A and B are shown apart, each in its own frame.
Chain A
Amino acid sequence: MVAANKTSILVLDDETIVLKRLRPALEKAGYEVEVFSRSSEASERITQKDFEIVITDLKMPGLDGMQFLTMVKERSPTTEVIVITGFATMETAKESFQKGAFDFLAKPFKLGEIQEIVKKAEAKVLKNRMQ
């Protein structure tokens, strides 16, 4: 029950199936995971806590993923943001990277793929912390 030294991840997607699938996979891999299906609640949460990694969908009602990404990076520049989207285009990918996303993944994806990316993001977070 020592949650303190676990890497924390926030997942935001308006399709709950994505949360249902990602949460157990990430928890079992040793991460501390919080999931949100509404961007308003997720943006509320990031004012209370700085997550090390954020995984967000792009297209959502209300505040969209691109805005959320901007918000996260403004509040906490060291947070690594992974963008997942079913509407993957070169433009959205480019825009995500310009806004500071760590990586960009098109849905559907394999669980293994996102776990790989999360691992890399975690390594970067840890490395930055050491410096």
Chain B
Amino acid sequence: MNWIFGWFKQTLRHGRGPSKQVPFATLFGLFQTILALNNQILDLIAGMGTKLGGNYVFDRQYIRSTCEQLADLVYKLIYNLNAMAPGKYPALYDAFRTIHQEIQEELAGRLVIPQTDYTMPYHLISRDFGDVVGSKNANLAEVKNLLGLPTPEGFAITTRAFQSFLKHNELQEKIQGIATSWENEEITTEAAEAEIKALIMSGTVHPGLQKAIRKALDDLCLRAGDKDVHLALRSSAKGEDTEMSFAGQYLSVLNETPGKVLDSYKEVLASTYPRSAMEYRRQKGFAEGEVAMAVGCQLMIDTKVSGVLYTLDPRSPEREVMLLTANWGLGAPLVAGEVSADEYAVARKSPHSVTAINIVRKETALFPKQGGGTEFRLLDEALQTRSALTDDLINSIVEEGLIIERHFKKPQDIEWAFDQSDRLFILQTRPLRIKAQSGHMACDISSALKKYPIIFENKGVVAQEGIGAGKAFLIKTDDDLVAFPEGAVLVSRYTSPRLAKAIRKASAVITDVGSPTGHMATIAREFQVPTIVNTAVATELLRSGQEITVDARQNVVYEGTVTELCYYEFADEAFEETYEYRLLRRVLKRIAPLNLLDPSDKDFVPEACKTFHDITRFTHEKAAQQLIHLEYANVAGSQTAGRKLDFDIPLALVLIDIGGGLVVSANARSVQPKDVLSLPMRAFLEGLIVPGAWNTDPVSLDFGGFMSSLTRTFSLKMATPRYVGQNLAVISKEYANLSLRLGYHFNMIDAYISKNANDNYVYFRFLGGVTDVTRRSRRVRLLGDILAKNDFRTDVQGDLVVARIKKLDIDGMQRKMRLLGLLVAYTRQLDIRMVSEGEMTRSLEDFEALKNAHGGSTTF
């Protein structure tokens, strides 16, 4: 595009008087640069997003260099906007610095916990907060928030709180001193532990932290609807490694009253931190950062019976059983091995029959004490010899256990409890380490796989990696979705958003059609369900009830349950657990989300930019506005004045002619479509105003979750410019650049059409705005389908469609511009109409019909 810019400069310089403002040619050149940067940035962001899907092998170097590249481009973007509007947006630099700084810290792997409070309620925690709340808290919150299983209400006291505790009491150096003596073998492990413990117990919880914990407790009481709560405090360290090595060392303080929570907090830290800190040093060496402790603070469950479930017996995984232990009352003594417990071996396969049972005499059990604390009580004779669990209770634990295992992709070690009304609560879950070397798993995986018939392979595309096994379940109607059994493999012709409710129950998903960047991929990724889409053959080759194993890594579907493959996966580190995956996900949080949505909103300001995407969006909008709103009439002469296009469709379009794009006699303020001489623009308008393209009938407009849940009727005639947006076209005889804001979507078209076919091109770019992810990706897919069908080279990534076509003659290029005009008019209404998948198919046919209907008068 640079040559165009050069040409503008030359053309426009002639006959212009001196001016204080940025000359138009310069301004437009900057605008062009901003568009080009904008495109590069969005491409990079979309590319980073697809790396999370699991098809790619990427390393730290990729994450680092892409972040650098992005930061460089975003900085240039800001620079160019400030050149267009001198001194107008200096705050963008501040926003940039903040975001850039955070990304740098993440890349450096520093233990920085920005923007987190000292406490965090469970309902706001996701797996991305592992560093802040510790892995145990993060896992439990995921069980609660994503899987929807009952867990105790509560909050985490974050690692940042712990850091501030150490800092306030100046403990860091003292502890390091002790650890160094221990490393030099000057003192014993026991002595070092005791000294660090004493240091922590002598520390005080500073007022800021006290206040935060009290506030969290008040909020918790409010949520519980009870002022007189009792609490359990459990340690939760950052990093799985340390936690797994020290499973037994972690202390819980049970049935504490709110008044004693501060003391208990210290007690949990003192009992768990010293050992894990030392072990961490032993394993990782001096250079590594320190362990950070978080603590979970949960409402006590009025426990009747509790225990531990291993979803796979680690001693002999090949037996395919789960191990369950249970005792009356609270589970702490059972976990610590202080009391004997009933033991059950339960088949992993449904219907989960109990294959072995060992009921022991349970003389005492731990119970909450009135007024706080716990006590051992002698049990009634009848309870002592009775099985602590009934078959029904066993069944409900193991079913939930397998749901959790499926989600975390590894066998789990789960602490659970039933309350007095037999309601099940998950108290804690963490991966159970299965040794890769144990006989069964050391098997030669590739020859083991040869035993299983392959139903199909390399059909379709992997949308989410992983292994899933279960009975196939074909979805044909909505009723099938309701009946979808836990753990089955979901097989469907389409990737409909309706499937979302069954996905979380599925062990894998296979569809005949669909795109790896579509809605299904997003959902599958969120729930981490192995998914293969677009196989074309799944519903034909698979039948309901058939046992199958889906290898959504190698893209193979096997007949039967390939246990070797499942165990191979168990021993393997999941992609989602690798450092690089988590790092990419974390940096993307500062890059990809779009928070700045509505340009008319008062929060559409540089200060509100939280991500690189926000800055990019803001800059693009303001750059276009800069061209629209400046009074060119006074600056660059009437030729380049911005003029409103006067036509009968609800699209506010401002035209800026930079040479030969309009009839010379065109009046100063507005122009008619017939006055447009620009070859690409004229063709675009012809398509845009095709009769029938703008459906002005009132349509039912469902703002779905975006504005309100109300369904209103809405006529497009009523659409205000606020919704329709301010749109800009910069044109010349042979060139057109359109920046269109359609509702909340951003559309850019750049075209050059001349006699020289080799120079001709049309570039189309569409970025969806908000609205729910389902409709968004459907729209993007529809656009992609239409463009591809009409010979554009089309690339769809997430929410972004890029389409190009080049080197056609004038007539051919104009047809394409007409088509884009029609497409813009048509898709303007898609949000409103694309409510279901069927609607989308219809839309595609609709569009083609509309196109063909006008084959006589307007050619596409």
Residues of B within 8 A of A109 (CB): 56-57
- Least CB distance from A131 to B in Å reads 27
Q: Which of B444, B551, B573 has the most CB of A within 10 A?
A: B444
B554, A108: Cβ atoms closer than 8 Å: no
Q: Which of A21, A30, A86 has the most CB of B within 10 A?
A: A21
- A24-B572 CB under 8 A given contacts A15-B60, A86-B62, A108-B56: yes
- Least CB distance from A60 to B in Å reads 11
A29, B554: Cβ atoms closer than 8 Å: yes
For residue B442, which residue of chain A has the nearest CB? A1
Contact of A2 among B51, B56, B443, B447 (CB under 8 A): B447
Contact of B57 among A1, A22, A27, A29 (CB under 8 A): A22
B59, A15: Cβ atoms closer than 8 Å: yes
For residue B62, which residue of chain A has the nearest CB? A108
For residue A115, which residue of chain B has the nearest CB? B554
A130 at the interface (CB under 8 A from B): no
A107 at the interface (CB under 8 A from B): yes
B829 at the interface (CB under 8 A from A): no
CA distance A17 to B447 in the complex (A): 25
A20 at the interface (CB under 8 A from B): yes
**Selected interface stretch from B24-32, B286-294, B574-582:** B574-582
- Least CB distance from B538 to A in Å reads 19
* A:47-77 near B, CB below 8 Å: 59
What total of chain B residues lie within 8 Å of the partner, measured CB to CB?
A: 28
B554, A28: Cβ atoms closer than 8 Å: yes
What total of chain A residues lie within 8 Å of the partner, measured CB to CB?
A: 27
B554, A18: Cβ atoms closer than 8 Å: no
B647 at the interface (CB under 8 A from A): no
Mask: chain B, 566-610; 1 = CB below 8 Å from A; 0 = not: 001000110100111000000000000000000000000000000
A108, B553: Cβ atoms closer than 8 Å: no
B65 at the interface (CB under 8 A from A): yes
A118 at the interface (CB under 8 A from B): no
Contact of A3 among B57, B65, B444, B568 (CB under 8 A): B444
A114 at the interface (CB under 8 A from B): yes
Contact of B446 among A29, A86, A110, A111 (CB under 8 A): A29
Contact of A28 among B56, B443, B446 (CB under 8 A): B446
Residues of A within 8 A of B575 (CB): 21
* A:1-45 near B, CB below 8 Å: 1-3, 6, 13, 15, 17-18, 20-22, 24-25, 27-31
Contact of B55 among A2, A3, A28, A111 (CB under 8 A): A111
CA distance A29 to B565 in the complex (A): 12
Residues of B within 8 A of A59 (CB): 61
- A111-B57 CB under 8 A given contacts A3-B444, A17-B578, A17-B579: yes
B630 at the interface (CB under 8 A from A): no
CA distance A112 to B51 in the complex (A): 14
CA distance A38 to B446 in the complex (A): 27
B22 at the interface (CB under 8 A from A): no
A107, B446: Cβ atoms closer than 8 Å: no
B445 at the interface (CB under 8 A from A): yes
Contact of B568 among A1, A24, A31 (CB under 8 A): A24
CA distance A6 to B572 in the complex (A): 22
CA distance A27 to B565 in the complex (A): 11
B449 at the interface (CB under 8 A from A): yes
B447, A28: Cβ atoms closer than 8 Å: no
B246 at the interface (CB under 8 A from A): no
- Least CB distance from A120 to B in Å reads 16
CA distance A71 to B60 in the complex (A): 27
B723 at the interface (CB under 8 A from A): no
* B:414-468 near A, CB below 8 Å: 443-447, 449
CA distance A109 to B50 in the complex (A): 12
Residues of A within 8 A of B51 (CB): 108
B376 at the interface (CB under 8 A from A): no
- A114-B444 CB under 8 A given contacts A17-B578, A108-B51: no
A17, B55: Cβ atoms closer than 8 Å: no
Residues of A within 8 A of B573 (CB): 20
Ranked nearest first, the 9 interchain pairs of A and B with the lowest CB-CB distance are A108-B58, A30-B446, A15-B59, A86-B61, A17-B580, A108-B56, A21-B57, A110-B55, A108-B62
Q: Told that A17-B580, A59-B61 touch, could you supply 13 new A-B pairs with CB distance under 8 A?
A: A1-B443, A2-B444, A15-B61, A17-B57, A18-B57, A18-B59, A24-B572, A28-B554, A29-B446, A86-B59, A110-B57, A111-B57, A114-B57
